[in-house]
Amino acid sequence: MTESTLWWIATGAAITLELLSGTFYLLMIAIGLACAALSAHAGASWAVQMGVASLVGSGAVVTGYLLRKKTTSTSNTGSNRDVNLDIGETLQVDSWNADGTASVKYRGAQWSAVRAAGTLPSTGAHRIVEVRGNQLVLEKHPH
């Protein structure tokens, strides 16, 4: 079995493990292994192949980590529509309590609701802007 074949088998194994585990960084390692296979096809020595695999693989891991860290949102998941599909949904508020809360029916259950900052207590249609545990944060729905 040639050296390049061993590298391609290792690449396939890394991709298979990534598919089973969902670890993005294994794909970066697989890139390094594939580059080592290409260098073996080019006739590089075993030491050069190992260097290519380690440098490209670790470089891809570090680059992926830095890009992911840079683009990771630090926003509150309670108000992120990508995380919580209730954000933006409309419901009816019949009355507000003296303590600034309301009891509303949403998705077939009773929920506690509070007003979003700057929202005046009024009845009618409201939109969910955040979910805090089992409490909905509402703002008046613009008609």
Q: What is the pLDDT of residues 8-33, one digit of tens each?
A: 999 999 999 999 998 889 999 999 99
* β-bridge pairing 101-106 and 109-115: antiparallel
Verdict on whether the full-model pTM lies above 0.85: no
CATH of domain 77-140: 2.40.50.140
Q: In what order do the strands lie in the sheet with 124-132?
A: 90-93, 124-132, 135-140, 109-115, 101-106
Q: Choose the weakest-confidence range: 81-85, 109-113, 123-127.
A: 81-85
The answer to whether residues 104 and 136 touch, using CB atoms and an 8 Å cutoff, is yes
pLDDT category at 84 given cuts 50, 70, 90 is confident
Distance of alpha carbon 14 from alpha carbon 23, whole angstroms: 10
Tokens of 22: 């969902």
* Residue of 119 and 43 predicted with greater confidence: 43
Residue 126: the pLDDT is: 92
Q: How confident is the model at residue 73, as a pLDDT? A: 57
pLDDT value at residue 41: 95
| 75, amino acid identity | S
Which sequence spans correspond to the domains of the chain? 3-71, 77-140
